[in-house]
Amino acid sequence: MDLHGLELRERDARLRLAGATNGSSLCRPQSLSGIGPQSVKYLEGAAAALTEVRRAVRCNAHTVPSNCSVSAVVHSALERWVAQTLLPARSGAKWSEYLAGGIGALRDIHPPGRT
């Protein structure tokens, strides 16, 4: 996947998040209901993970060869997001949904077993 493809996925994730919140703030408790891939926290996590990767790829664009930059950045981000699931401070339901969304989005572009 290249930077443009990553930007398209990020835009799609942000649009799905905006649709799920109906323009409400993510800080409002009533906007955080739902469980699973369509929950606001899940969609927020997906958008956040893709944004994190896009920013890192753009920062590395001048120092890392383009054919490996996205894959390497996604792999590194996925490791960080998975590691967060083991932290006690990230064990609540909202954190679980948020992290699941980020991990899901990253695995969509970097399936397990791929280096």
Give 47's pLDDT tier (boundaries 50, 70, 90): very high
pLDDT score, position 67: 52
Using the structure block, give the residue that is written with the tokens 């001048």. Answer: 62
Using the structure block, give the residue that is written with the tokens 């956040």. Answer: 48
**CB within 8 Å of 23: residues ≥ 6 apart:** none
Summary mean pLDDT of the chain:
83
pLDDT score, position 1: 78
Q: With 90 as the cut, is the pLDDT of residue 12 above it?
A: yes
Using the structure block, give the residue that is written with the tokens 């998040």. Answer: 17
Measure CA of the first residue to CA of the last residue in the chain; give whole Å: 13
Question: Distance of CA 12 to CAs 6, 15, 16, 44, 105, Å?
Answer: 10, 5, 6, 12, 11
pTM: 0.79
- pLDDT tens digits for range 54-108: 998 887 665 555 555 788 889 999 999 999 999 999 988 889 999 999 999 999 9
More confident position, 108 or 111: 108
